[in-house]
Structure 1
Amino acid sequence: MSDSLGSGPVPVPPPRVLPTTLRQRLAELRGPTVAPHPLDARALAALAANPGCRRRALLDGAGVDKAALATALGSPAPFGQSQFAFMRGNAFEAKVKADGGTELMALLTDLIDSSAPSPLPGEVLVPDLSAAGPEGRTARTALALREATAAGTWALLDHPLFALEVAGSPAYLEPDAVVVRPDGRWTVVEIKSFPMIDGSADAAKVGAAARQSAVYVLALERVAVLTEGAEVDHRVLLVCPKDFSNLPTASVVDVRKQRAVTRRQLARLTRIEDIAAALPEGTTFDVERRSGEELTTAVESVDAAYAPECLAACELAFHCRGRARADGAVEALGRSVRGELGGLTTVEDVLAAARGEAGDPSDPTVAALRRAAALRAEALAGAAAVRDGGA
């Protein structure tokens, strides 16, 4: 598939198998008895939004449970759904997919392909995607997609599994559903529990869903380039509860922009073997065998790229924010501020430059800071004069 943004799929090889030595090293990093924590699309979208963070790239690539690590560091992050919200979301998803996805297919044909009649119950193939291990499930998903496309039939893949290489390490991704249409087009379906009121949902939540869905589209394109007659739709079907009911409604989200940005950002990530090779000997993030002090040393041995946006996307954000504040790093003020300050990397440097105690006066940044400081002093003096006159 190609599009106006010039970000169509490119033939890429399947995710490579990690060398034995690297797999052993990553196992040592998370702990020899600790199972790898899966890297889902939501985490992958957040990683792509901050490709300069080597810390997150390594921890996610090694399968480290960042929530457990943050708790061991003394800076737990309030991530995750409540049990009630989790159960409600599962119940809504089951309703949407009931009876072979009858309601889901009706929504899809109405919004994406109104010229095609909605398939009748029993006309939709729902293949069994169960298999041993993520590699087996990925292969089974690819086979089901190829078979449905070759047969020219409607198919609903419930929780398929795809692989996408991230910083040299394979990540396995599981969308809510993928629909195969008789014309060979594949559509990603995202089912969310937040409501769509009067035909629209919260913009921030829709944006997050779009970024997450873009990751699924990227992974799905890897299979499509090897499947004759297949085409991945850049439009994603977002299904949500209608108003305040449990009835499903949907909207179409074009993810071409998010897909292009995500692909570009993922390509910028440093390979995890390069990051791991630079670590001190014996470094590990094993929360079961290391003290909080030892874990802090291990975490600080990997460079981070903290920004306030991390608070909504990374379990280690509170730890990184505390370190950034303790070091007086301007990153704690936001990426835009950091970009404006150029070579001034600490708040102390910024204040010294504004006071005229440091910095090159010919530097535009230093000159702007001093001008701002002079205007502030002038405004404060004027306010003090007005206050004293009033007294």
Structure 2
Amino acid sequence: MSSYPPSGPPQTTTLRQRLADLRGPAVPPRPLDARALAALAANPGCGRRALLDGAGVDKTALASALGTPAAFGQSQFAIVRGNSFEAKVKGDGGTELLRLVYERLGAGSEPPGGTARVPDLTAAGPDGRAGRTALALREATAAARAEGAWTFLDHPMLVLEVAGTPAYLEPDAIVVHPDGRWTVVEIKSFPMIDGSADAAKVGAAARQAAVYVLALEKTAARLEGAAVGHLALLVCPKDFSNLPTAAVLDVRKQRAVTRRQLDRLTRVEELAAGLPEGLSFDPARSAEELAEAVAAVSASYAPDCLAACELAFHCRQRAREADAVTVLGRSVRGELGMLATVGAALAAADGIRGPAAGEAADPTAEALHRAARLRAEALETAAAHPYQRPEAPECPC
């Protein structure tokens, strides 16, 4: 088996030890998945999440220890149903899955028939599995060029560097076409009714697929002749049955956004270097110690975090205590400019906060004050001239 080192320089022993100290002496690192990476890319300015995810901290356990647990994850019934549906789609050597890929994305290729290759991807540890996946992709690309063969990779392992640390990702499947293209396949248990599914869930699946495509492109860059398709395949139950159907996802936009946001992330070693010695996020510590440790890392809270981050309720509570305008959303925060608190915004609207001597007037404060004045005038006019509903005309009949 050929070696498959993570993209980018390896972590030094000092950094590994530092990240282990941040997690706690007996706490194993929690691996990143595509869902977490998509959420991280959606809020690249949050150093708190970048550090905790890069260090492998279990944010669910940390939130519970802080007293602000978040109810994330699927029910046991949904997990069992999802596993059952995935097994059905991948059964018989991926025959049904390859049929869907051929119908939606197999233009110009021969149908898979019963000749598809299904390589064994088992290996020891994530590094071993990533190396085995890279070797299987290389062999599948060569077989496609030589024989025009289809290849189905079940739960391969990919590597993507995030904030200077390698993240191991496991897509549901990757299919290698006879022309050498690589396609990411996402299998979800939510239904596709009359050819369409819930837009929010499809969007989340597209963002996850984009993360897999980014990682797959890193692998393809080291293999001559390999090509990663920008079209991913989403497989879901059809209507209210357990029969699979599929839709094509164009992930070019999500891939570009995710790549740009991940590039903006501060490297983990830079975030860890600014922390005091002895700081730890070990859930075994007291809530007071953990709150102090979390507060030592800058955060960028927004209401969107409530649907994506386990620490969102803790960050929201702290933002409310600080009277921060971030609790109102990113769009409001951007429009308020230098007004960082709700109190300052209200004072500007009331005309209390004016420019100091020799200081230029704040256009945001002036706009707020004008808007508040116009609103008050409108309310006074409405009170002086209450709206009266006109009487209905008599029926001519």
Shorter chain as denominator, the TM-score bin is over 0.9
One-letter code of the match for 1:71? S
CA drift at 1:102:
0.8
Listed one character per residue, the Cα deviations across residues 123-163 of structure 1 (whole Å, up to 9, x for unaligned) are 11111111111111100100000011112221111000111
CA distance in 2: counterparts of 1:80 and 1:100, whole angstroms = 29
Give CA deviations for 1:12-50 in whole Å, capped at 9, x if unaligned: 972432100000000000111111011000000110111
Matches within 5 A, 1:121-160: 121=114, 123-152=115-144, 153-160=149-156
Please state how far the C-alpha of 1:387 moved relative to its aligned partner: 6.5
Paired residues of 2:238 and 2:245 also in contact (CA < 8 A): yes
2:336 aligned to which of 332, 341, 351: 341
1:183 deviation in Å? 1.2
Which of the residues 42, 45, 63 maps onto 1:49? 42
Aligned pairs (5 A) from 1:370-385:
370-385=369-384
Residue 229 of structure 1 corresponds to 225
Read off the aligned partner of 2:50 and give its amino acid letter. A
**Given that residues 106 and 177 in structure 2 are in contact (C-alpha distance below 8 angstroms), is that contact kept between their aligned partners in structure 1?**
no
TM-score after normalising by structure 1: 0.94
Gaps of 5+ in 2: 389-397
**Match runs of 1:1-391 below 5 Å:** 14-121=7-114, 123-152=115-144, 153-288=149-284, 290-360=285-355, 362-386=361-385
- Aligned AA (1:306): Y
CA distance in 2: counterparts of 1:117 and 1:87, whole angstroms: 35
Task: Give the letter aligned to residue 259 of structure 1.
Answer: R
Structure (1 or 2) with the larger CA radius of gyration: 2
Shift of 1:52: 0.3
How many residues are aligned here? 377
Corresponding residue SS for 1:252: strand
Structure 1 alignment gaps of length 5 or more? 1-11
Compared CA separation, residues 106 and 343, structure 1 to 2 (3 A): same
1: CA distance, partners of 2:386 / 2:232: 60
State which drifts further: 88-97 or 109-118.
109-118
Secondary structure of the residue aligned to 2:256 is: helix
Q: 1:365 is aligned with what amino acid?
A: T
TM-score normalised by the chain length of structure 2: 0.92
Give the conservation status (yes or no) of the 8 Å contact 1:45–1:215. Answer: yes
CA contact (8 A) 1:15 1:163 kept: no
Distance 1:376 1:118, change over 3 A: same
Deviations 1:358-386 (A, max 9, x none): 13383221111011111222233234435
Which residue identity lines up with residue 11 of structure 2 in the other structure?
L
Letter in 1 for 2:140: A
CA separation in 2, counterparts of 1:386 and 1:375? 16
The residue type equivalent to 1:243 in the other structure is D
Secondary structure at the aligned position of 1:240 is classed as strand
Return closer, same or farther for 1:359/1:176 CA change in 2, 3 Å cut-off.
farther
- Distance between the aligned counterparts of 1:39 and 1:16, measured in 2? 19
Distance 1:249 1:358, change over 3 A: same
Q: CA deviation at 1:117?
A: 3.1
- Please report how far the alpha carbon of residue 116 of structure 1 lies from its aligned counterpart in structure 2 after TM superposition: 2.2
Amino acid at match of 2:94: G
Query: What's the counterpart of residue 395 of structure 2?
Result: none
Amino acid at match of 1:81: Q
Aligned to 2:393: none
The AA in structure 1 aligned to 2:248 is V
Shift of 1:388: 12
- Aligned equivalents of 2:368, 2:252: Cα separation in 1: 40
One-letter amino acid matched to 2:127: E
Classify 1:388/1:148 alpha carbon distance in 2 versus 1 (closer, same or farther; 3 Å). Answer: closer
Cα distance in 2 for residues equivalent to 1:13 and 1:29: 22
Query: How far apart in 2 are the matches of 1:80 and 1:208?
Result: 14
Structure 1 residues 287-315: Cα deviation after superposition (integer angstroms, max 9, x where no partner): 02x10110000001000000111111100
Distance 1:159 1:291, change over 3 A: same
Instruction: Label 1:359 to 1:93 Cα distance change in 2 as closer, same or farther (>3 A).
Output: farther
Deviation of 1:326 after TM superposition, in Å, equals 1.0
Root-mean-square deviation over aligned CA pairs: 1.7
Kindly provide the amino acid, as one letter, of the partner of residue 147 in structure 1. E
Identity %: 71
Displacement of 1:229: 1.8
In structure 2, the residue corresponding to 1:21 is in which secondary structure?
A: helix
CA contact (8 A) 1:39 1:60 kept: yes
